[in-house]
Amino acid sequence: MAPSAPFTEDEVARIRADFPILQQEVDGQPLTYLDSGATAQRPVQVLDAERAFLERDNAAVHRGAHTLAARSTDAYEDARATVARFVGAATPGEVVWTANATDALNLVAYGIANASRGRGGQAAERFRLGPGDEIVVTEAEHHANLVPWQELAALTGATLRWVPVADDGTWTAADAAAVITDRTRVVAFAHVSNVTGMVAPVAEVVAAAHAVGALVVLDACQSAPHRPLDVAHLDVDFAAFSGHKMLGPNGIGVLWGRADLLDALPPFRTGGSMITTVTMEASEYMPAPERFEAGTQPVSQAVALAEAVRYLQRLGTDRVLAHEEHLAQRMLDGLAAVPGIGVVGPPAGVPRSGLVSFDVDGVHAHDVAQYLDAQGIAVRSGHHCAQPLHRRLGLVATTRASTYVYTTAADVDRFVQAVGEVRAYFGAAEVTA
């Protein structure tokens, strides 16, 4: 099959027209939004879908027999089915609504912790961890896919091990295979790094993990919004992503898990909605996904996320990927011509996502971001919730520019031009010349 083409200028112009927030100026300059890796903007279709639900159908789901409750429940479960199809789930029941991706990853980690304490009965024994068992992550992980596993190790006595990264922040399948042993029980890693843009060798890591009977947990936060995602094809066991990074609302995330694993995993958040029988002495829980959705559910958010998924499907996730890879290469080429810029991540010619993190010699990342903001260009600065990775790279912080479906070539060129002015503005060019 021939590779997909990036969006044309006319197509991007039509896409941008769907995003009201982009039609503004910042400090007297037209807004160039290059922080979609942190939070994506929302098209009117998504905004309208949530508002229409709230104006017409809003009610508690899976409760009550009145018309609004029935319509609300239908919309909630239709949204689940839409997202399930989007990621290649076998059934809608493999999709669990969470507060965000961090919440989804904690759900898995603390579910395993509860199983290790004897909760969940015989079915949950497959998750039990203890001294001598190992959990494997990478040195490049977002804190959301590191701290929960640190806690799980502390709670169970298991050992946390990690795949080291090279000087550019990347790692290989061979690096992972060298850390995975017959004592490994969980392997957790990001599909796409939120700092380096590296695309992980998922197939090879999954094969190595499954060969020793380990579970694979995939952080798909930077992949689900930007490239085709088929969890069945990837053969992972769990995957997590968030709504706000993929044109959807805040306050909702997704945990996908294989049905047999979700049905066996003990819940870690309990209360209403997830029970079958409650006595004063004990409770029995519903099967997945309801067993993990305690309390009042994010109904309007689920409806809006489903509309975001439909929006991406109309664009074509293969073309979204092509568009962002094209822009990333344009950005890399432009920055390569700017003196004093150090880009982290895969070397030239290696596929990466549509984000680029970099260091400006002699200028702190926060100062870089503030200078760009004065030109109307929004980027991210800091350690991007990946302190161990930045420490390994010898950097306190980096500046990150990230693209999405509404980013234009002109946005990238304007960004590169502004970055080229930074060192002179702060006097760094003269100092290091």
Residue 251's closest CA among 149, 141, 102? 102
Give me the phi and psi of 160, to 5 degrees please.
-90, 125
What type of residue is 391?
Answer: R
Question: Strand 253-257 to strand 238-242: parallel, antiparallel, or no bridges (unpaired)?
Answer: antiparallel
Tokens 């309390």 sit on residue: 295
For residue 164, the Cα-to-chain-centroid distance in whole angstroms is 21
C-alpha dist (Å) from residue 117 to 107, 110, 246: 15, 10, 36
CB atoms within 10 A of CB 48: 13
Active site residue 385: yes
Residue 309's closest CA among 88, 106, 94, 70? 88
- H or E segment to which residue 427 belongs: none
C-alpha dist (Å) from residue 140 to 74, 197, 323: 40, 11, 25
Dihedral sign of CA atoms 65, 66, 70, 72 in order: negative
CB within 8 Å of 133: residues ≥ 6 apart: 156, 158, 159, 183, 184, 185
Dihedral sign of CA atoms 355, 248, 17, 384 in order: negative
Cβ atoms of 202 and 218 within 8 Å: the answer is: yes
Give me the phi and psi of 77, to 5 degrees please.
-75, -30
Cβ atoms of 38 and 402 within 8 Å: the answer is: yes
Which one of 31, 385, 409, 428 is the catalytic residue?
385
Residue 241's closest CA among 105, 337, 116, 48? 105
What type of residue is 159?
Answer: T
Q: What is the largest CA-CA distance in the chain?
A: 75
Dihedral sign of CA atoms 336, 338, 340, 344 in order: negative
Q: Which residues pair with 341 in a beta bridge?
A: 360
What are the start-end ranges of the E strands in 191-339?
215-219, 238-242, 253-257, 275-278, 283-285
Residue 138's closest CA among 197, 185, 214, 200? 200
Instruction: Kindly list the catalytic residues.
Output: 385
